Each structure stands twice: as C-alpha cells, then as structure tokens.
C-alpha cells in the first residue's frame, strides 16, 4: 500500500485565494483525520470523519475552513479566503481498523504558505 | 487544545546514551501512544500502551504509564544518530476517537 497520500506537498498562495488540500486515505481505513501543525500551536485536530461522515469539526478555526469526504478514498480541506495566519503544515491521517485501537497513519503533509 | 505536554522540549545526547522523554496529560484516557516525526515528514506510530498497562517494550523503546499521575515516559536505549527526530505523545479521550497530541520533544543524537 502506498500509504496516506496528500497533495500538493507544497503550496504558496496569496492572501484571499482559495486553497484546496487533498487526501487519499489507506484503503479499508474507516476514520480520517485532518491536523494542522505550527510552531506556535503544535498539532491541532481540525476535523475527523467516520465512514465519510464528519463526526467532530470543533477544531476547525472558522467558517473559512471546510472539509468534505465524498467517498471512502478521498477527502478535501478547503480554505476560502486564505490568510497569512493559515500558513502551516496540514496533515491527513487515517485509522487502522485492524489495530483495535486508535492508531493513525499519517500522510507526508501539505506545507501551505499564504503571503 | 493540547492534552499532553512533553518534557523536556529539547534534548541533546551522544550516540549510545539513553534518552528519556516525559508526557503529562489531563483527562481519563483509553490508551497513550508515542509517535516520531522526522524533519519535513509526517508522524509515524511507535508504540501504544493501554490504560491498564504499566510498562511496554518494543525493541529499544520502553514506555511506562502512571494513570494515577497522568504521566508517561518514553525511553530510547542505546540511541543512534538516526533517532534524531521529534517525539510526541498522543492520547484519546475516553469517549471518542479524537487523538490529541502533546507539544513534542526534539531529540538530537550527536554522532
């Protein structure tokens, strides 16, 4: 398995532009998580899905952020409009159903820079 | 909000020495996990210890858990330069699958 795949790996955009980050979880994983990592705030859980349904989006910073999971193999995190304070590394992770515990497999991340 | 806080924030040791990192958390948990993150990469799961366990080993890793003190420690024995990375503890709230990460310890192993 290729693991959790995220794209793009790097994105540089200007303030006010729309940003879409993409994630393909590991086949068969039933949970998908979006995290954001910054030096100041560390790793923050933004939202997670179970069987494509959003379960908890309490970590989403504000209405500019939205996430969808239209099917079991694809999820997007959208920021519209983007702001410089959104600059961070965004990670997608999926849960190993077979582990019997909440063990996550992470993607390599998408580094976002908003100028 | 972060559930776990790691201590120390940074650690520098010589290759061959042992490295100990500590994690404290706030609420009841189902289990506690440790992850490693190499620079510019995603996090990788290392080891999981359940709330009813006190100690667990995996290769050069030893994890302890003290639920009465709400704390855990990760010991890496006979460290190698390749162990240089950030290490995070993570806990899941007893009633959900939210996995909350601590602030991390940056480990530097000098050759």
Confidence band of A49 (pLDDT split at 50, 70, 90) = very high
**A50, A102, A109 ranked by CB distance to B92: nearest:** A102
| Pairwise pLDDT comparison (B64 vs B93), residue with the higher score | B64
Q: Give the residue among B100, B84, B85, B107 at the shortest CA–CA distance from B31.
A: B100
Measure CB to CB from residue B42 to each of A31, A103, A107 and give the nearest one: A107
pLDDT, tens only, B33-54: 999 999 999 999 999 999 999 9
CB contact under 8 A, B30 and A33: no
**What does the pLDDT read at residue B3?**
61
What pLDDT, in 10s, does the model give residues A53-106?
A: 999 999 998 899 999 999 999 999 999 999 999 999 999 999 977 767 789 999
Q: How many CB pairs under 8 A join A and B?
A: 53
Q: Which of A43, A55, A101 sits opposite B31 (nearest CB)?
A: A101
Give the separation between CA B110 and CA B14, rounded to whole angstroms. 5
3-state secondary structure B33-57: EEEEECCCCCEEEEEEEECCCCEEE
The yes-or-no verdict on residue B2 having pLDDT over 70 is no
Tens of pLDDT, residue by residue over A13-36, are 999 999 999 999 999 998 999 999
State the pLDDT at residue B37.
97
Residue B94's pLDDT band (cuts 50, 70, 90): low
- Residue B28 has a pLDDT of 85
Report chain A residues whose CB lies below 8 A from the CB of B43: 43, 91, 93, 104, 106
pLDDT of B27 over the 90 cut: no
| pLDDT for residue B30 is more than 90 | no
What is the predicted pLDDT for the residue at A94? 95
Q: Is A91 on the interface with B (CB under 8 A)?
A: yes
| Residue A113 tokens, joined | 């820079």
Please count the CA atoms within 13 angstroms of the CA of A65 that sit on its side-chain side. 19
CB–CB contact A33 B100 (8 Å): no
Tell me the C-alpha distance between A14 and A81, whole Å.
10
Give the pLDDT band of residue B68 (cuts 50, 70, 90). very high
A95 touches chain B (CB under 8 A): yes
Predicted confidence at residue B88, as pLDDT, reads 96
* Among candidates B96, B99, B104 on the partner chain, residue whose Cβ is nearest the Cβ of A104: B99
Chain A residues lying within 8 Å of B42, measured CB to CB: 4, 91, 93, 106-109
From chain A, the residues in CB contact with B51 under 8 A are none
Q: Does A53 touch chain B (CB under 8 A)?
A: no
Asked if A18 contacts A78 with a C-beta cutoff of 8 angstroms, the reply is: yes
d(CA A42, CA A40): 6
pLDDT at B1 over 50: no
pLDDT at A107: 97
Q: Please, which pLDDT band fits residue B7 given cuts at 50, 70 and 90?
A: confident
pLDDT above 60 for A42: yes
């Amino acid at each position: 398995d290729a693991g959790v795949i995220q794209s793009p790996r790097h994105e540089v955009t200007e303030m006010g532009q729309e940003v879409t980050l993409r994630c393909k979880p590991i086949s068969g994983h039933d949970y998908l998580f979006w995290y954001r990592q910054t030096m100041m705030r560390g790793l923050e859980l933004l939202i997670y899905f179970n069987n494509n349904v959003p379960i908890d989006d309490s970590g989403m910073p504000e209405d500019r952020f939205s996430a969808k999971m239209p099917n079991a193999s694809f999820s997007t995190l959208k920021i519209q409009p983007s702001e410089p304070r959104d600059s961070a590394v965004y990670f997608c992770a999926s849960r190993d159903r077979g582990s019997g515990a909440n063990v996550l497999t992470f993607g390599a991340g998408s580094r976002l820079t908003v100028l | 909000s972060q559930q776990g806080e790691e201590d120390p924030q940074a650690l520098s040791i010589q290759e061959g020495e042992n490295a100990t990192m500590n994690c404290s958390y706030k609420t009841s948990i189902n289990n506690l996990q440790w992850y490693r993150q190499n620079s510019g990469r995603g996090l990788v799961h290392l080891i999981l210890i359940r709330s009813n366990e006190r100690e667990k080993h995996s290769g050069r890793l030893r994890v302890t858990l003290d639920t009465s003190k709400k704390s855990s420690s990760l010991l890496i024995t006979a460290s190698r330069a390749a162990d240089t990375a950030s290490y995070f503890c993570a806990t899941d709230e007893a009633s959900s699958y939210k996995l909350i990460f601590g602030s991390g310890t940056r480990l530097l192993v000098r050759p």
